[in-house]
A and B are shown apart, each in its own frame.
Chain A
Amino acid sequence: MKCKQCPQNAVFQDLCKHHFILDFEKKVKDTIKKYKLLDKKESVVVACSGGKDSLTTLYLLKKFHGNVTALAIDEGIHGYRSKTLEDLKQFCEKHKITYKIVSFKEDFGKTLDVMMTDKKNPCTVCGTLRRNLLNKYAQGYDKIATGHNMDDESQAILMNLLKNQTPLLHTLGPKSDKKSMFVQRIKPLYFCSEKEVAAYALLQNFGVHFAECPNAKDSYRAKVRDALNVYASEHHDVKRNILESFLAIKPHLKKQSLHVNQEKFIELAG
């Protein structure tokens, strides 16, 4: 099949390499602009795992914004994290990007593997500790950019709905609320599917290993992801539709959450 826009062979989404890259970058630029993710004068740190999503975010913010810093966290996951951190170091050296690597062992005294010996739900513990360290080491920056993509976000929305955790739902979205204690988070890849990001990283020769965290394989998220992917194979717009529906109701969810919190406060105070 030929590219929709030129006589070259199509490689992805009926576009040639050149036009797919242009299309993808425009989508990210449009997201940054529409949701006011990053002002020209603001400083930004990119939370990096060394995987395709964070390296794509790092590359594009460097391209669009100029000065960026990479911040990586070594949780201490045997046989996984050292490979992705090596990819990150090589990438940053190639693209002349400053990077900092911090670790669970240095900050919490133990690796994740040691913390989770004989315990369940490593993803919940890991996520909470990672957020804590990101916020700690991003102090002084205006924004933290993460590589969350459309698949991650649609899964997170469904997970909250399926677990009846609607008070938490309004915290999702392309940009977190401004809070004094926390550096604001932005998601430039919000409307890019996981497959699109993978195609972009491959076509740009980022040299990433497309590996899945060994702890994530049996997680609740993985179950939701697999079910959603089965449905999405026949209904191609479903992930985008989940995000659009969520963004349409987000203001109401926020109001409701404030109301619930006020009621809880009155109950506790009473």
Chain B
Amino acid sequence: MKLFIERENKHNEMDFKGSVKELLQKLEINPETVLVVKNDALVQEDEALQNTDVVKLISVISGG
């Protein structure tokens, strides 16, 4: 799975199969702080992710 973590401006490639919720748990990212985009579409925490997916984690914290 191709993964882009916007806040860290970091591109990763990882082996992962599971839900969005499980991915965030694995990465230790608080779901309150990100939106998850799978293959260019916003998805919820119950969405299943496959190794072929392109996933973006967009930080919702902005401004100052």
Chain A residues packing against B (C-beta within 8 Å): 1, 10-12, 14, 17, 49, 51-53, 77, 123, 126, 147, 194-195, 197-199, 202-203, 208, 210-213, 215-216, 219, 225, 229-230, 232-233
Contacts and interface: CB of A to CB of B under 8 A. Distances in A.
Given A11-B42, A12-B44, 18 more contacts: A49-B63, A51-B62, A53-B62, A53-B63, A123-B64, A195-B35, A195-B60, A198-B58, A198-B60, A199-B35, A202-B42, A202-B58, A212-B59, A212-B63, A216-B64, A229-B33, A232-B32, A233-B30
Interface string B15-54: 0000000000000001111010100011110100000000
A230 B28 CA distance: 11
A14 B46 CA distance: 10
Contacts of A49: 63-64
A77 B63 CA distance: 12
Contacts, number: 71
Contact of B64 (A12, A203, A213): A213
B42 A210 contact: no
Given A10-B44, A11-B41, A12-B44, A229 B62 contact: no
Most buried by B among A14, A126, A211, A215: A211
Contacts of A212: 7, 59, 61-64
Contacts of A208: 62
Nearest to B61: A212
Chain B at the A interface: SS class: mixed
A14 B35 contact: no
Given A12-B42, A198-B58, A51 B32 contact: no
Contact of B63 (A10, A17, A213): A213
A202 B64 contact: no
Given A10-B44, A11-B41, A211 B62 contact: yes
B6 interface: yes
B60 A194 contact: yes
A199 B63 contact: no
B64 A126 contact: yes
A104 to B, nearest CB: 14
A216 B62 CA distance: 9
